[in-house]
Amino acid sequence: MGGDRSATRGRRSQMNRRQVLATSVLAMLPAPALAGASEPALSSPVVGTSWYPEQWPMEAWARDLDLMREAGLKVVRIGEFAWSRMEPLDGRFDFDWLDSAIAAAGSRGLQTVLGTPTAAPPVWLTEAHPEVLRVVENGEVQGHGERRQFSVASSTYRRYAVRIASEMGRRYGRNSNVAGWQIDNEIGLETFDAEAKVRWARWLEGRYRTIDGLNDRWTTAYWSQTYQRFDQVPLSLGPDQNPALVLDARRFFSRLWADYVSDQAAALRVSSAPDQFVTTNSTLWNNHFDQHLVHQTLDQAAWDLYAPSGRPDWAGNALHHATVRGYKQRAFWVMETQPGYVNWGPLNRSMDPGETRLMAWQAVARGADAVLYWQWRSALGGQEQYHGTLVGPDGTPAAVFPEVAQTAHEFAMASPFLQGSAPQAEIALVYDQDSRWALEQQRHAEDYDPTGVMKAWHRPLYDRNIDIDVIGPEQDLNRYRLVMAPALHLVDADLAGRLSAYVEQGGWLVLGPRSGMKTEDNALWPNGQPGPLAALLGVKVDGFYALDDERPLEGSWSAKARVWAETIRPVASDVEVLARYAVGGWTQGQPAIVQRRVGQGGTVYVGALLDETGQGGLTDRILSSAGLKPGLPWVPAGVEASMRAGPAGVCWFLLNTSSQAAAIEFPPGARIVVGRLVEGRLGPQDLVVVRQGASQGAEEVRTSSRL
């Protein structure tokens, strides 16, 4: 890549108003701490962007990359849809352009994340091997021109995918400008092609050994469903199919995706340096596969954070960041986020000034090490011409550019204080993918939305500025003082045993409605709800009722049941009733929420979905039972506060997501690292990062009512 300097000169002479603004913002910012020679190539957190050099002539690259450098960007993600450019003909590879792109980025201090291009197969591949095409459940075969038109079950496709991944690994696995790998792009679509069906029969045989075993566990005597051979079993996600079959089909697709990812990860790792990470990028509340399974062979998690309505759901995003952090229980990346607006919602409103920066900082506050904008520059053609970008099609900065540049420079300023740090949580919310799938097929009340229930349980914790981890039921519970499982519908004896042990040893376990109703086969427990949890909870759930009204509860705080109400019968004598239904047919006077002290800890069983006030009161009650102090009284309403702690001490992130300035009084010893207060007030859509020294431990800071 020659001509960088003249390109820069040319660009400067064409500066428009936004560029001047961007430059003046940069000039106002203190210089970022410089990375020492011994520090890693990427000193997190960093800002980056998706860049598609294959869509532009090489001559256009220098200008784009110079501007990225000027904005303080540190990462470009390249290649995830460029298969036809990397392998224009079967087995004929052309990486010269990619060599140049990576080198050009590297020469400007930009590290590359390389995407394996398998989300977009070239036409020669699907033409020569039409059996690799994805088939939707109604039999329609997906064609060329969009993307993700391949079958995850196809061994031919897997072979081609592994081959291109191996080629890339061999070529770039030791390239010091390549920080890591992204496998495919937003994986997950199901396929119902012939090979998928063969694999399904094989998977079932592996799981059940005999067809009689399957018939028994699936209750196929129902509606004459009895199968004689595994290859008779339909592969289906149909809403009216046998719930056991549908849940297994979901598990089967999870397995396919986990194998697909691990095949590519293995191919990359043959030649790549150990410090190159391998990840894949996922989506909000992805429901196509079990994330914990798919992440087993990955180094870190990543997700694509979008607010298509242009109105960020701050509490929802905080929860989902924690969810993604939980896949590997370590720092994650936001691999894509919107520069202002997207193009795929019903109405693609732009986020307001300040919100793009706030959203990036929220990600870091919740444990992200990188935030990458999708995308740098809009291609002139193709399907996404209306999407938000950092620069326009002419290469000049978009309105949001200065905000992103400011964020990038602020990340660099905070970086020395954030190395090796992570959010600290004493509370875990349990997310169980199998339970979600089971509940979604049989909601019984259409408003019973398992992720909505997660959000409703999380909301009062968020409002009280209490951070949480989100874990799968198989993960270690003993790290937490309080474990809340809003939707643990499927519980087997092993899980029940682990939950009991956790409580016996001093943990507090809070279970939501519909807990312990089903076996791992999605069948009702023969002893009724709560199945194997009955001994621990000391109750029997006598009945469940879908509600079209709100039913007030009687208890020590104000609450109403909505959507769902169960009637609970205490069986053990030490079960304490916390709330009863005050009115309403079958539920009148019946226990709705119960508590029991067990061993060193305790359990709370919540048999109803509650209104917001009720859930808030319940949260306060549980926090006090578990001996946890609520939030941070010094942080005013409308300001989100969260914390990361690490070797360099503790950093607090105060984000004003409201439209009002908020007065904040910092305690002695606190030092602002990023942002500022004006006359003691934090402006709307503004933030500060506040630091405390390493001498003060995370525990000490968290539990103090003032910093």
Identify which of residues 342 and 439 has a Cβ nearer to ligand GLA in the complex: 342
How far does the chain reach from its first CA to its final CA, in angstroms?
51
Task: Using CB atoms within 10 Å of the CB of residue 478, give its burial: 0 to 12 exposed, 13 to 18 middle, 19+ buried.
Answer: exposed
Does the annotation mark 576 as catalytic?
A: no
| Residue 576 phi, psi (nearest 5) | -105, 130
With a CB cutoff of 8 Å and minimum separation 6, the contacts of 408 are 46, 47, 71, 72, 73, 74
The closest alpha carbon to 441, from 256, 261, 265, 240, belongs to 240
Beta-carbon count within 10 A of 155 CB = 12
Applying CB under 6 A, among 125, 268, 342, 368 the residue interacting with ligand GLA is: 342
User: 54 vs 186, which CB is nearer to ligand GLA?
Assistant: 186
Q: For residue 361, give both structure tokens.
A: 């900082």
557-616 residues near ligand GLA, rule: CB under 6 A: none
Q: Which residue type, as a one-letter code, is found at position 613?
A: T
Kindly tell me which residue out of 70, 304, 469, 611 binds ligand GLA, with binding defined by CB under 6 A: 304
User: Which residues in 159-218 contact ligand GLA (CB under 6 A)?
Assistant: 185-186
Restricting to residues 306-325, which ones interact with ligand GLA according to CB under 6 A? Answer: 306
Among 167, 248, 336, 355, binds ligand GLA (CB under 6 A): 336
Residue with smaller CB distance to ligand GLA, 342 or 575: 342
Q: Among residues 203 and 374, whose Cβ is nearest to ligand GLA?
A: 374
User: For residue 150, what are its two tokens?
Assistant: 């391949």
Backbone angles phi, psi at 605, to 5 degrees: -115, 125
CA distances from 3 to 7, 13, 59, 299, 467 (A): 6, 16, 9, 38, 49
Residues sharing a CB contact under 8 Å with residue 573, sequence separation 6 or more, in sequence order: none
DSSP 377: B
Task: Please say whether the dihedral angle defined by the alpha carbons of residues 161, 163, 166 and 168, taken in this order, is positive or negative.
Answer: negative
**Torsion sign, CA atoms 272, 78, 340, 387:** negative
β-pairing, 302-305 vs 281-282, is parallel
288 counts as binding ligand GLA under rule CB under 6 A: no
Closest separation in Å from C-beta 387 to ligand GLA = 6
Asked if residues 235 and 271 have their Cβ atoms less than 8 Å apart, the reply is no
Residue pair 568/605 in contact (Cβ under 8 Å)? The answer is: yes
Q: Which is nearer to ligand GLA, 306 or 502 (CB)?
A: 306
Q: Is-catalytic flag, 336?
A: yes
Q: Which of 336, 403, 566, 640 is catalytic?
A: 336
Separation CA 372–CA 393 (nearest Å): 19
Taking residue 630's Cβ as centre, other Cβ atoms within 10 Å add up to: 16
Identity of the residue numbered 470: V
Residue 431 Cβ vs ligand GLA, minimum distance, rounded to whole Å: 21
- Three-class secondary structure of residue 190 per DSSP: coil
Q: Which is nearer to ligand GLA, 335 or 575 (CB)?
A: 335
Cα 702 to Cα 393, 422, 459, 569, 688: the distances in Å are 47, 13, 19, 38, 18
CB of 364 to ligand GLA, least distance (A): 20
Question: How far is Cα 195 from Cα 186, in angstroms, rounded to an integer?
Answer: 22
Q: Which is nearer to ligand GLA, 70 or 304 (CB)?
A: 304
Peptide bond into 375 cis (omega under 30): yes
CB 146 to ligand GLA: min, Å: 11
**What is the DSSP secondary structure assignment for residue 516, as one 8-state letter?**
T
The binding track of 492-511 with respect to ligand GLA, each residue x by CB under 6 A or -, is: --------------------
Q: Which of the stretches 123-131, 336-344, 516-524, 604-612 binds ligand GLA when contact is defined by CB under 6 A?
A: 336-344
Q: With binding defined as CB under 6 A, does residue 374 bind ligand GLA?
A: yes
What DSSP element (H or E) covers 435?
A: helix 433-441
Q: How far is the CB of 308 from ligand GLA (least distance, A)?
A: 8
Residues 6+ apart with CB under 8 A from 203: 252, 255
Which of 14, 9, 23 minimizes the C-alpha distance to 402? 23
Q: Which residue's CB is nearer to ligand GLA, number 185 or number 615?
A: 185
Count of residues of this chain found to bind ligand GLA when the rule CB under 6 A is applied:
10
Is position 387 an interface residue for ligand GLA (rule: CB under 6 A)? yes
Q: Measured between alpha carbons, how far is 356 from 339 in angstroms, rounded to an integer?
A: 7
For CA atoms 254, 255, 256, 260, give the dihedral sign: positive
Q: Which residues 392-451 are close enough to bind ligand GLA by CB under 6 A?
A: none
Q: At which residue do the structure tokens 């298969």 appear? A: 83
Name the residue with tokens 């169960």. Answer: 566
CB of 55 to ligand GLA, least distance (A): 12
Enumerate residues 85-104 that contact ligand GLA by CB under 6 A.
Answer: none
Are 470 and 457 in contact by the 8 Å Cβ rule? The answer is no
Give the nearest residue (CB) to ligand GLA: 304
In terms of CB distance, is 384 or 492 closer to ligand GLA?
384
Q: Which of 147, 197 has the CB closer to ligand GLA?
A: 147
Nearest to 653, CA basis, from 310, 331, 422, 455: 422
Beta-ladder partners of 511: 485, 605
Give the shortest CB-121-to-ligand GLA separation in angstroms.
15
Helix (H) and strand (E) counts in the chain: 20, 27
Peptide bond into 513 cis (omega under 30): no
Least distance between ligand GLA and beta carbon 375 (Å): 7
Active-site residue (options: 186, 190, 195, 426) = 186
d(CA 277, CA 78): 15
Shortest distance in whole angstroms from residue 360 CB to ligand GLA: 16
Q: Enter the DSSP assignment of 115.
A: E
Give the residue numbers annotated as catalytic, written as ranges.
186, 336
Binding site for ligand GLA (CB under 6 A): 185-186, 304, 306, 336, 342, 344, 374, 384, 387
